[in-house]
Amino acid sequence: MSTPDLSRARWRKSTRSNGNGGACVEVAVTPRIVGVRDTKDRGGGTLAFDRRTWASFLGTLKAS
């Protein structure tokens, strides 16, 4: 499996994240992939999901 290139992706942090350097993640949405990374270690790796899997994940969170 190849690693998606998200170097030009626009990353955004949740508006619900606090500004105290807490446990925050950033998300980048591209036409095919959604990337997720830790704001405290942006170079530490990225989780990549196809958009359907990401939508299912969000649906599960919203339902709980």
Q: Which sequence spans correspond to the domains of the chain?
A: 26-63
pLDDT digits (tens, 9 = 90+) for 16-50: 776 666 678 899 999 999 999 988 888 888 999 99
Q: How far is CA 37 from CA 10, 16, 34, 63, 64, in A?
A: 12, 16, 10, 23, 23
Taking the model in full, what pTM does it have? 0.80
What backbone phi and psi angles, to 5 degrees, belong to 32?
Answer: -115, -25
Reply yes or no on whether the pLDDT at 1 is more than 70.
no
